[in-house]
Structure 1
Amino acid sequence: MDLLFLLAAAFLVAEAQACPEVCVCVARKNYSRHIADCSYQDLHAVPAGLPANATTLTLSVNRITSLREDSFIEVSHLQGLWLSYNEINTIRKGTFGFLAQLKNLDLSHNQITDFPWGDLRKLTALELLKLSNNWLEKVPLEAFSTLKDLRSLWLNDNRLTILSEGTFDSMPLLSLLQMNNNPFNCSCKIWWLKRWLESSSVSAPEKESITCATPKDLKGHVLWRTLALDCRLPSVQLTYRSSLDNSVLHDGLSLLLDCSAVGKPQPEIGWKIQMSGQTVVINGPNAEEEEGDNLLADASSEESPGRFLVFRNGSMAISKFSKADEGIYTCRAVNDVGWREVSVNVALSSSENPADDLLQNDIQASKPRSKSCDKEELPPSEEKVVVIYLTPTGSKTTTNRGILWEPWLWGSWLMLFSLAL
């Protein structure tokens, strides 16, 4: 029994003493903390032989230049990792991915240009992230999407010119955000950030140093205070016409959806068609003709490149419209400020409840503003294209007034037109 006790004691002592010579390892049992301090040692790499039970690892003020996938494999239970004031310029993907208990990560004052943002998705316990004083030029929109517990984020003194709208939306506990001393490009793409700084409860110290670097006429202007940007969210309108003046379609004729949008800068128009069993997305024009009088003729041409033709003016022509083409047609207008879209549900009048299946799984669709009129029974050779309802939808704007809606007066006109039919 005594022998077993001595062996166990020897094992525990050996484990406690497992510490690189250049580090100081301290166990604070009252707080269940095991600290490995390897700072100020002129290290060029993360040392091997770190204690497996370490909860805090300090490697600040060294000369480490790179981090590998296995740099911290010995200390997977870390809660604090401090790497400030090194010369880190390379971090391999997966370096931090398995540190699921990590709460504090400090990589400030290094030379990082390409950070493995995907690793953050697994660091769901993270509360502090310091990336300040590096060479970062961009932050992906979804970079912090899983950091629900993050309270302090430091991005200051980098080379950031733009941040995407929504970058900070997924962090409900965020209370401190440092992003001063970045060369922001004050175009309409940054318009949302100005509004966010004005209205957010998140503390952003040194706001006076959040300034524009470009364009030249705005250089040095404080972003959040008096900067005036001539930017407008898109406004969208959607109308339709068929290849027959009376909108009664013989099977195989064409339908034209005219989508027009205004905003600053000028919006780009794309389309999404949700049909039974498939969704088609067209992000830009796939046809050359612009003249409205020729669009339907071009759609009916045998040389047409596809069923759905999108022209440079935003119009879409559906060649040889049939039951297979029934569905929700959505026009989206996008510019640097944001986006808005409007949808119209198109179906042949011979169909019974043609939109029911689509609406059940379509989060953008809303109930019709009025009940559809009873459809007149027609011979199979003559089928009407009926706009069943119109659903305008809009993105979240960057003002503090919430969602903005345009007056969709033309939607009422379409409903009256369908009723008249």
Structure 2
Amino acid sequence: MALRTGRALPSFFLLAGLIVLASGPFIVFACPSRCLCFRTTVRCMHLNLETVPAVSPQTTILDLRFNKVRDLQPGSFKRLKNLNTLLLNNNHIRRIPRGTFEDLVNLKYLYLHFNNIEVLEAESFSHLPKLERLFLHNNRITHLVLGTFLHLQSMKRLRLDSNPLNCDCELLWLADLLKQYAESGNAQAAATCEHPQRLQGRSVATLTAQELNCEMPRITSEPQDVDVTSGNTVYFTCRAEGNPKPQIIWLRNNNALNMHDDARLNLLEDGTLMIQDTRETDQGVYQCMAKNVAGEVKTGQVTLRYFGTPCETCSRSQTAPQLLSVKT
């Protein structure tokens, strides 16, 4: 018997060595306490976890169901480029901050149902090019920001049902998206209205702009031509109404102005464009565009003519009336 036991020892150590080699990544990144790990799958269910545990970069399935995670932080899943499936359902999650999932370039299945999510940002899911399934049902979502799901080109199944969605005109973009899913046949989606009462229980995909009380923008005040000299302040007036409230975009020579590129440019609350310390580069053709989810409309084009040195006629008959007629 002793000889037989002795002969078996090399086989035992060989088997142990193979197990160590097979578990490669988890030697450096140990399996989280109380979790179950097998190859590239990590399961941490029913452990009362309040934060996302650190796992191996080789992880492909991360199961965090039935815990007490409340807040997801940007970087919670950093370096998990191999992750295919992430289960976060049945937690206490309240919001999905921008950048939470930015490293998950291979994620296909994301389960966030049965949480307390109230807020989704426009870029909550912007870094998930391969996402096919997104479950958000049974949360507390009332509003969705324009474009929240538009960039998910691989989407096959989207669930938003059992949320207290407020179906107003700001949700028209989602209705259009769900109609596109239905017409293409490439994706299935579910979303129903909770408010207002007249639309309660209606599928969002069936709603029309009229039912959502959408109104295309209407221009109520238009800009006028102006002549300026160096260093003046100019105001181009543009006011618009609509539902939802239109966004005002200013164009110069048919190109949208970026107010962040030039500190001299300011968009006032009522839509008026203010140009301070005017210079020759401001010369050109200007146009105001009012835009919301129901459509867009533009004013006629107006011209800003620049004169390098003041002239008595310009300052008295053209520049001064323009400045007096604008918002103070």
**When the two structures are superposed, what TM-score results if normalisation uses the length of structure 2?**
0.70
**Which whole-Å deviations, capped at 9, do the CAs of 1:105-140 have from their partners, x for residues lacking one?**
111122211345413111101111111111111211
What is the rounded CA distance, in whole Å, between the counterparts of 1:173 and 1:151 in structure 2? 5
Matching residue within 20, 23, 39 for 1:54: 39
What is the rounded CA distance, in whole Å, between the counterparts of 1:142 and 1:63 in structure 2? 30
Q: Displacement, 1:216?
A: 3.8
Residue of structure 2 in register with 1:278 after alignment: 262
What is the rounded CA distance, in whole Å, between the counterparts of 1:319 and 1:17 in structure 2? 65
What is the rounded CA distance, in whole Å, between the counterparts of 1:63 and 1:112 in structure 2? 16
What is the rounded CA distance, in whole Å, between the counterparts of 1:116 and 1:255 in structure 2? 40
Matching residue within 210, 216, 227 for 1:233: 216
What is the rounded CA distance, in whole Å, between the counterparts of 2:248 and 2:139 in structure 1? 34
What is the rounded CA distance, in whole Å, between the counterparts of 1:178 and 1:241 in structure 2? 51
DSSP 3-state at the match of 1:170: coil
1:259-274 maps to which residues of 2 (within 5 A)? 259-267=238-246, 269=248
**Which whole-Å deviations, capped at 9, do the CAs of 1:175-220 have from their partners, x for residues lacking one?**
1111111100111111111222222235335x4xx32222344333
Q: Structure 1's 169 and 251: CA in aligned 2 closer, same or farther, altered over 3 A?
A: closer
DSSP 3-state at the match of 2:101: helix
Residue of structure 1 in register with 2:49 after alignment: 65
Greater shift after overlay, 339-348 or 194-203? Answer: 339-348
Matching residue within 175, 178, 185 for 1:194: 175
| Counterpart amino acid of residue 51 in structure 2 | L
DSSP 3-state at the match of 2:120: coil
Matching residue within 315, 333, 337 for 2:290: 333
Greater shift after overlay, 232-241 or 118-127? Answer: 232-241
Q: Displacement, 1:160?
A: 0.8
| Counterpart amino acid of residue 42 in structure 2 | L
| Counterpart amino acid of residue 146 in structure 1 | H
Residue of structure 1 in register with 2:319 after alignment: none
What is the rounded CA distance, in whole Å, between the counterparts of 1:230 and 1:114 in structure 2? 29
Q: Tell me whether 1:323 sits opposite 2:304 in the alignment.
A: no
1:324-363 maps to which residues of 2 (within 5 A)? 325-326=282-283, 329=286, 331-335=288-292, 337=294, 346-348=303-305
DSSP 3-state at the match of 2:110: strand
Q: Structure 1's 336 and 65: CA in aligned 2 closer, same or farther, altered over 3 A?
A: farther
DSSP 3-state at the match of 2:62: strand
| % identical equivalent positions | 27
What is the rounded CA distance, in whole Å, between the counterparts of 2:277 and 2:313 in structure 1? 12
1:239-318 maps to which residues of 2 (within 5 A)? 239-242=223-226, 256-267=235-246, 269=248, 278=262, 280-285=264-269, 312=270, 314-316=271-273
For the aligned residues, what is the CA RMSD? Answer: 4.2
Verify the 8 A CA contact 2:96 2:124 in the aligned structure 1: no
Q: Structure 1's 189 and 11: CA in aligned 2 closer, same or farther, altered over 3 A?
A: same
DSSP 3-state at the match of 2:99: helix
Q: Tell me whether 1:180 sits opposite 2:161 in the alignment.
A: yes
Q: Structure 1's 321 and 334: CA in aligned 2 closer, same or farther, altered over 3 A?
A: same
Q: Displacement, 1:147?
A: 1.1
Q: Tell me whether 1:203 sits opposite 2:160 in the alignment.
A: no
What is the rounded CA distance, in whole Å, between the counterparts of 1:328 and 1:105 in structure 2? 52
Residue of structure 2 in register with 1:136 after alignment: 117
What is the rounded CA distance, in whole Å, between the counterparts of 2:302 and 2:14 in structure 1? 75
DSSP 3-state at the match of 1:261: strand
- Of the two structures, which has the highest relative contact order with CA contacts closer than 8 Å and spacing of 6 or more? 2
| Counterpart amino acid of residue 262 in structure 2 | Q
| Counterpart amino acid of residue 212 in structure 2 | L
| Counterpart amino acid of residue 258 in structure 1 | T
Q: Displacement, 1:381?
A: 4.4
What is the rounded CA distance, in whole Å, between the counterparts of 2:95 and 2:232 in structure 1? 53
